[in-house]
């Protein structure tokens, strides 16, 4: 009797110790915010799938045997003899003439030519192999060469970048920007040009026409003046401002072009990552994307998107480097480094009319509206808790303030990443809870009331129908 009592005491002691260890593990792998349910899941995945994960995730360098390839182009030049930027064709001769950027007719022709020729730089050197496990990186850029240069410098250091296809989508044709793109010698890269830019349509729609109604004119007055689009101010009574409409046009045109216009990507089923020109990337961003993809299959099969960046002021890599949050898409939180495949494009296409007529000039608010009101079951996603992307252009396009030195910001980010290098390349990522942010259908900000914008936007989707 005594003996058995002692034995059960010992059992209790051992159990307590085990529980204590489990709790410590829990602290290590989950944030305090994590819900009980997700804790359990993360622990299960920890013990259950660990070995398999590591194996799968570390095979990033090799082509996984399950991958279906849609493009396979072998490199032409020997790695050893190809010097940096030493392509077999001289850079200048490769594709663009030095046309004057004030000649809009010449620009239209040149851009049409580039968009149809679809030249890929550095193909000789790296070849191209695209499949279900690949990543195509798309950068939307405006006219900020100093930022584009920063982003490309960070991309150069990204592990496995040479296996991606980089697509740079411009809405300004400039020799300076072209020259910056020509410095890319670390991966295959293609330039595409938004063909309805204000640069090319400076005095006509989608640029500003001399007879466009001024923003603040009253509708009655506008009708008397018979200015363009007098009938259709936005929901706040304001008329169109061309410079604010371009980014949404460019964004949706670019998606259409990437998924349906670029011949190399016709049958591409892998992922596409969307970036903007004022980002700085962590060198493990591609690695992390592959990790997230594996996690999505196990922990969130209904997630449609992976998001590599967040805007949190304090980034703690020691605690959050391998942690992921599950959430529904919110424009202000999840618009940095969105990564998804053709199926999300199909979802957006199904909602083309909603996208084109929602009275908001921001593509991301528009997308949130689609997620809430049009795309079935909303857009669910996994987002890195420790950001792999930093927004260095925080001062915005129009403000030029003294405390907004991108170089200083970059130095700060580089220091942070260097200090945390040992927490990058996590060999295991886990879901540390679900976002509890309240979801709502966003109230439109206006700026997108002009029927000409709606129609041009619809035209991108219809171009598709004509081409296919």
Ligand X SMILES: *[C@@H]1O[C@H](CO)[C@@H](O)[C@H](O)[C@H]1NC(C)=O
DSSP category for residue 237 = S
Q: Give the phi and the psi of residue 307 in degrees, each rounded to 5.
A: -125, 120
Cβ 448 to ligand X, closest distance in Å?
16
Token pair of 396, please?
């915005």
Token pair of 249, please?
């046009």
Pattern of binders to ligand X over 119-138, x per CB under 6 A? -------------x------
Q: Point out which span in 178-186, 230-238, 445-453, 458-466 binds ligand X (CB under 6 A).
A: 458-466
Single residue of 13, 27, 103, 267 touching ligand X by CB under 6 A: 103
Q: Name which of 61 and 402 has its Cβ closer to ligand X.
A: 61
352 touches ligand X (CB under 6 A): yes
Which of helix, strand or coil describes residue 324?
strand
Single residue of 343, 403, 418, 422 touching ligand X by CB under 6 A: 343
CA distances (Å), 228 to each of 164, 209, 210, in order?
45, 8, 9
214 touches ligand X (CB under 6 A): no
Cβ 180 to ligand X, closest distance in Å?
21
Q: 247: Cβ–Cβ under 8 A, 6 or more apart, which residues?
A: 140, 142, 361, 362, 363
CA distances (Å), 249 to each of 94, 363, 459, 461, in order?
28, 8, 11, 12
How far, in Å, CA of 388 to CA of 185, rounded? 22
Pairing state of beta strands 338-340 and 189-193?
unpaired
Token pair of 425, please?
């390349």
Cβ 317 to ligand X, closest distance in Å?
27
Pairing state of beta strands 430-434 and 305-307?
unpaired
Alpha helix (H) residue ranges in 30-141: 36-58, 91-94, 104-117, 123-126
- In the chain the first and final C-alpha atoms are separated, in Å, by 83
Q: Point out which span in 39-47, 281-289, 444-452, 455-463 binds ligand X (CB under 6 A).
A: 455-463
Cβ 461 to ligand X, closest distance in Å?
5
Which of helix, strand or coil describes residue 211?
coil
Single residue of 95, 345, 458, 464 touching ligand X by CB under 6 A: 458
Tell me which residues in 252-281 interact with ligand X (CB under 6 A): 269
Single residue of 41, 257, 304, 388 touching ligand X by CB under 6 A: 304
Number of residues forming the site for ligand X (CB under 6 A)? 15
Q: Name which of 31 and 87 has its Cβ closer to ligand X.
A: 87
Instruction: Name the residue with the smallest CB distance to ligand X.
Output: 83
Q: Point out which span in 79-87, 174-182, 236-244, 328-336 binds ligand X (CB under 6 A).
A: 79-87
86 touches ligand X (CB under 6 A): yes
Q: Name which of 132 and 316 has its Cβ closer to ligand X.
A: 132
Whether the Cβ atoms of residue 434 and residue 31 lie closer than 8 Å to each other:
no
Q: Of 337, 359, 413, which is closest to residue 239 (Cα–Cα)?
A: 359
Single residue of 38, 320, 341, 362 touching ligand X by CB under 6 A: 341
Contacts with ligand X, residue ranges (CB under 6 A): 79, 83, 86, 100, 102-103, 132, 269, 304, 341, 343, 352, 458, 461-462
């Amino acid at each position: 009797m005594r003996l058995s009592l002692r034995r059960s005491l010992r059992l209790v002691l051992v159990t307590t110790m085990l529980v204590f260890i489990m709790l410590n593990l829990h602290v290590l792998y989950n944030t305090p915010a994590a819900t009980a349910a997700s804790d359990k899941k993360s622990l299960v995945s920890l013990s259950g799938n660990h070995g398999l994960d590591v194996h799968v995730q570390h095979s990033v360098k090799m082509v996984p045997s399950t991958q279906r390839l849609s493009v396979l182009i072998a490199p032409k030049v020997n790695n050893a003899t190809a010097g940096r930027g030493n392509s077999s064709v001289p850079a200048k001769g490769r594709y663009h003439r030095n046309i004057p950027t004030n000649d809009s007719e010449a620009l239209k022709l040149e851009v049409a030519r580039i968009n149809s020729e679809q030249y890929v730089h550095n193909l000789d050197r790296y070849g191209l192999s695209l499949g279900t496990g690949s990543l195509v990186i798309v950068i939307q850029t405006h006219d900020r060469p100093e930022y584009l240069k920063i982003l490309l410098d960070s991309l150069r250091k990204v592990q496995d970048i040479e296996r991606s296809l980089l697509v740079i989508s411009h809405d300004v044709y400039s020799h300076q920007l072209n020259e910056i793109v020509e410095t890319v010698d670390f991966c295959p890269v293609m330039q595409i040009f938004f063909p309805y830019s204000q640069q090319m349509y400076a005095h006509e729609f989608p640029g500003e026409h001399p007879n466009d109604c001024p923003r603040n004119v009253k509708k009655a007055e506008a009708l008397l003046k018979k200015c363009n689009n007098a009938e259709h101010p936005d929901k706040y009574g304001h008329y169109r401002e061309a410079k604010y409409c371009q980014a949404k046009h460019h964004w949706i045109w670019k998606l259409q072009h990437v998924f349906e216009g670029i011949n190399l990507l016709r049958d591409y089923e892998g992922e596409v990552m969307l970036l903007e020109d004022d980002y700085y990337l962590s060198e493990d961003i591609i690695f992390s994307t592959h990790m997230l993809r594996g996690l999505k299959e196990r922990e969130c099969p209904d997630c449609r998107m992976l998001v590599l960046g967040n805007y949190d002021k304090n980034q703690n890599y020691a605690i959050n480097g391998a942690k992921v949050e599950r959430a529904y898409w919110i424009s202000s939180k999840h618009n940095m480094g969105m990564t998804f495949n053709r199926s999300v494009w199909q979802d957006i296409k199904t909602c083309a009319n909603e996208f084109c007529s929602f009275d908001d000039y921001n593509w991301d608010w528009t997308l949130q509206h689609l997620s809430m009101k049009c795309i079935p079951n909303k857009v669910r996603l996994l987002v890195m808790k420790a950001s792999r992307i930093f927004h260095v252009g925080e001062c915005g396009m129009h403000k030029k303030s003294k405390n907004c030195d991108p170089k200083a910001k970059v130095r700060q980010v580089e220091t942070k990443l260097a200090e945390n290098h040992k927490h990058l390349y996590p060999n295991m990522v886990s879901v540390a809870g679900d976002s509890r942010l309240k979801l709502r259908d966003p109230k439109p900000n206006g700026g997108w009331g002009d029927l000409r914008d709606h129609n041009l936007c619809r035209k991108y989707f219809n171009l598709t129908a004509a081409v296919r």
